[in-house]
Chains A and B, each alone.
Chain A
Amino acid sequence: MSTPIAVARLAGAVKRYGALTALDGIDLTLHRGELLALLGPNGAGKSTAIGLLLGLIRADAGTVELFGQDPQQIAARRRIGVMLQSAELPATLRVGELLRLVASYYPTPRSVAESAALAGIADLLTRPYAKLSGGQQRRVQFAIALCGKPELLFLDEPTVGLDIEARGKLWAAIRQMLAEGCSVVLTTHYLEEAEALADRVCVIAQGRLIHQGSVEQLRARVAVKRISCLTPLPIETVRRWPHVIEAQLDGERLHITTAEAEVVVRQLFDADPQLRELEVRRGGLAEAFTELTRDAGEASLTEQREAA
């Protein structure tokens, strides 16, 4: 038996554009049947990382592999499917013709009917691409990504412009692909998308991988919790309590941000035994993400100052 290899791998990958370092030594390994979400602010290096893995650009240093091969090798790319953030497909071709064309690039593609059914576009096959709505075009692009029966799918912001129902259907299709053993690299701006689908989340900021782990682990990086309740307590008093990071009044409802929820809740009950509708939540992925990327931003600012 031959040596097992990863589906996709970046090791110490560096990419510079002139003076700008877009990727500063990234290590990433993707396993079979896994969905990896790449998160990060715009310009953080997500697209560069994807570009390297798709063989669109070459790394200045480090290793980039798809199935143990250079992504610029067509044999490696015959095992991937791609959906880019923006790709204007030929306007006058019909959906079925587009699917048949892209399927012709692959050794063992799905049938047009199968790809269309998976992406929920069976009713659009005879329509010219330009006559479709934005959401329909996005679904056609998804069908094109999966038509080659790929072992690895790259989905770059796949649900931008989709309504909630279409997004749900796309998620279901992605889950079906994962269940068949396909791996997925997903970039998204919607944190709930990462939350719903990802086995692993990588956060990239300033060209570096600043966090890698499960969604739970990412959340746990952020200690803050949110407390909310109905109470007549004056907000100024609450703000002065120890451990209260922030307190806000939303109508009658009081919202408190704190790292020590237990202490603050005890204090709330001491001050107002009649308090109602108490809720304590851990900070969401959004808060975690903001905090992480802000920390990375501050760190690099400090570095720059030290260097100056």
Chain B
Amino acid sequence: METVMLVNAVEPKPIDMSRGRVFRAYLAEMRSECLRYLRAPSFMLPMLLFSSVFYLMFGVLINHGDGDAARYLLASYCTFGVIGPGLFGFGVSLAIERAGGLLTLKRALPMPPGAYLLGKMVMAMVTATLVTVLLLCIGVFAAHVTLNWIQMATLLLTGMFGVLPFCALGMLVGTLIRGQGAPGLLNLIYLPMAFMSGLWIPLSMLPAFLQRIAPVWPSYHLDRIALAAVGLNHEALLPHVLVLAGFAVGFLLLAARRLRRYG
């Protein structure tokens, strides 16, 4: 046993951090995450433009005044648009921060537990909300889709919270791949999944096989909720909400396990 001289020793005083300060640390993390991505055009522009340009093309320019088609496409491009910030905001940044050492630094620093994930989650929710607002504007002012306030608010909430299961999926991919390989893999998930869930072409126009397996994709369930928000789907929504919650929890647990084991 080593004897330690008194003058050289430190007291095991517990460092008290008031609840208020811990709460402010969470807020600071969220604020930083949002600021850093809002200032990054290489992230924001594709996120905002991808779905809105598609919608402008197919919902407004090519679509000759078919109101139902414009309404349908508003819901499915909203779904398509909010998946992006979840998958890419979480997946790419996690993969790059694991490779670049930022995640290691944050784990060594006394960042409150969960602040890292919460910050990214809030950032993805903010971006998803911006995407939904942009599409709503195009839908209402350019495609002349008539929506009441409740429908608009419901679609907005669908986008805001619908991004969460895809955050969890992005996080899982971010733990599987390090660095710049993540965007490629994410696109391989994003685009085929969007297509097979009927986000680009209505499911009813797809082959019967794809129609049958559509409920496998989380994006299908989010699309059903978005369609209900704009008044095109009258089935019960609870099963879809539960399936999405299940996906979110499942992906999150897998990702958390990988992060704990392999960092």
Which residues does A use to contact B, with CB under 8 Å? 2-7, 29, 31-34, 54-56, 67-69, 74-75, 77-80, 82, 84-93, 97-98, 100-102, 104-107, 128, 148, 151, 154
Contact = CB atoms under 8 A, between A and B. Distances in A.
A92 B109 contact: no
B28 A56 contact: no
A101 B11 contact: no
A298 B5 CA distance: 37
B15 to A, nearest CB: 5
Contacts of A98: 32
Contact of A93 (B4, B16, B36): B36
Question: Is the contact region of chain A dominated by helix, strand, or loop, or is it mixed?
Answer: loop
Interface stretch (B67-75, B100-108, B240-248): B100-108
Given A56-B107, A105-B112, A107-B15, 12 more contacts: A5-B4, A7-B10, A55-B107, A74-B110, A77-B110, A85-B101, A90-B102, A91-B40, A93-B36, A105-B109, A106-B17, A107-B17
B117 to A, nearest CB: 15
B9 A87 contact: no
A105 B4 contact: no
B25 interface: yes
Contacts of A32: 7-10
B12 A107 contact: no
Given A77-B109, A90-B36, A67 B12 contact: yes
A131 to B, nearest CB: 12
B35 interface: yes
B95 to A, nearest CB: 12
Given A32-B9, A67-B12, A101 B29 contact: yes
B208 interface: no
19 contacts: A2-B11, A2-B12, A4-B11, A5-B11, A6-B4, A54-B108, A56-B107, A67-B10, A74-B110, A77-B108, A80-B108, A84-B101, A87-B101, A91-B40, A92-B36, A93-B35, A104-B24, A107-B18, A148-B110
Most buried by A among B6, B12, B21: B12
Contacts of B9: 4-6, 31-32
Nearest to A29: B2
Nearest to A83: B105
B192 interface: no
Interface in B39-67: 39-40
